[in-house]
Structure 1
């Protein structure tokens, strides 16, 4: 009897230890059919990422005691239309963290601070035809002059996230250059500070982007806000990118989301201006119909008109219809 009690106590202690750590497999598959007409040329394709990024990942947290926790997050892209021929690489995010009352210290490949305003304050996030990056990203790449290489993520980063402080939140990040001489794509630095309380969410961010172009030091700054009134959630976003050699880019977005039935309407209007080049405009509207908490049917429509040189085309009209399933 005594041996049985000792064995049961050992099992219970082991279970308690395991209960203090957890690992989760998660993912998202988002695919659909897209039809676009670009400067008179039509294209039909089965594609990914209509309203969210197709991805597979692992994350976990271990309770170290005394209010301290350790965690990791490893996430890679999925190409559901063709499979991921090169094998899964954790290029979306690969980080390890220490968390506690002091906030979170995070190391690895991670999103840069300015990216969050792009995706949080855009009804379409950074996916699909309706996203503002169709304009801003296109203008940033098409206009002459060195562009940054880390508008979304950076390698070799050290990041710090503020602890819960009422509605205040913030992120500070520094990317280690890792080269003895010359420029590096991971030579980055950025900060984001925001306030979220009730229906209001507002944040401002700024940062230098890494580049391999000698003598270049692109900078991006943005501000975004949303106000959830229940029946509608208006959004605003303004971004400027200062580029070495001129041709600076600015991007203004106004948009909204509105719940209708079991789904959500998304709409936005975007105006992009490139110094010494011209401007462009985009209108987008979409609807997400939720079949369950994890599965939805999605449809988007977007139209772009732009001066030559602002994007890689002057006119594009397109629609996409697809299915998303998260797990």
Structure 2
């Protein structure tokens, strides 16, 4: 009897050690809100597809799995896969693991990832947006990346991130195009510093213009081809974001510039963008406000798009919040477009 109890204790100890060395986490987000816009035709990042009252997500709903395994010697194997869907109709995104799908190894040297993941430039861009690219109030990557080189994720990615060196980190990544028609690889890097109330980040992206200018072309009612951009044309964007948390409020400023080659048009599409934003704890919730301006150059000369956003997000618990936002934008020669949303978000 004593031997049996001893054997069970030993097995239990080994099982406990195995659990401690390897773990998988299931997480997700469900977001639903009422959103309504007027019939203006200016480019409004985060706005609904038309001027009808809609029940739609205002932040990307998702189901994800991430895990890590201790390999010993300070090394860990890591993975993450994230599915995106629209909860109002239950439809899955056309790219099933739209969020990301990568596997990698980390240790004292930093971390290497292989698969589909966010671009290095994405992280310095989203740091400029108090909404994190959610709701109609957001600044949006169309602005933070200056419109003509917008890429938030790389497929076929090979990335390396340094360890944290006193608040300083750097990341470099290549997303292989894997094409034979001279389509450009996605290449990017960032350098970020986080120390106390200070954040400063610089990011760079280079890729294919046809992919990068798609969001702007759609906003203008065009396609990359009608704008004269074809596969193989190069797009680049770079920008800097800085913020300081004063305690009573966090102030954020950002500037970016971008260029997209357009072989068929015989010139480049260029733009720069600046934004100012603030986030402040008010009444137990979070008050957010921002103003951003995109200014075109070269083939976009004379085109400006300005937007302001205002919102209030109130937590009902650690995992659930309600929110209300308004966003309004004006594009040169187009009518102002304004939208509002009211919603609820649950994270698990």
Q: CA deviation at 1:175?
A: 1.3
- State the distance in 1 between where 2:158 and 2:100 align: 13
Task: Name the counterpart of 1:162.
Answer: 162
Task: Name the counterpart of 2:180.
Answer: 180
Q: CA deviation at 1:182?
A: 2.8
Task: Name the counterpart of 1:256.
Answer: 278
- State the distance in 2 between where 1:88 and 1:105 align: 23
Q: Does 1:240 pair with 2:293? A: no
Task: Name the counterpart of 1:225.
Answer: 242
Residues 125-179 of structure 1: per-residue CA shift (max 9 Å, x gap) = 2122122227628983xxxxxx55x611110010111102101011110112212
* TM-score under structure 2 length normalisation: 0.84
Q: Does 1:273 pair with 2:295? A: yes
Match 2:332 to one of 303, 307, 314: 307
Task: Name the counterpart of 1:143.
Answer: none
**CA distance 1:263–1:17, change in 2 (3 Å):** same
**CA distance 1:117–1:85, change in 2 (3 Å):** closer
**CA distance 1:104–1:62, change in 2 (3 Å):** same
Q: Does 1:61 pair with 2:68? A: yes
Residues 56-112 of structure 1: per-residue CA shift (max 9 Å, x gap) = 100001111111111101001120111125688111111111011000011110111
Question: Structure 1: 5+ residue runs without aligned partners?
Answer: 141-146
Q: CA deviation at 1:116?
A: 1.4
Alignment check: 8 A CA contact 2:146 2:257 kept: no
Q: Does 1:321 pair with 2:335? A: no
**CA distance 1:257–1:277, change in 2 (3 Å):** same
Alignment check: 8 A CA contact 2:32 2:55 kept: yes
Alignment check: 8 A CA contact 2:129 2:140 kept: no
Alignment check: 8 A CA contact 1:55 1:77 kept: yes
Alignment check: 8 A CA contact 2:208 2:231 kept: no
Alignment check: 8 A CA contact 1:183 1:211 kept: no
RMSD in angstroms over aligned alpha carbons?
A: 2.1
- State the distance in 1 between where 2:203 and 2:238 align: 6
Question: Structure 2: 5+ residue runs without aligned partners?
Answer: 42-49, 211-229, 262-266
- State the distance in 1 between where 2:145 and 2:67 align: 36
Runs of 4+ in 1 over 4 A off after TM superposition: 85-88
Q: CA deviation at 1:232?
A: 0.4
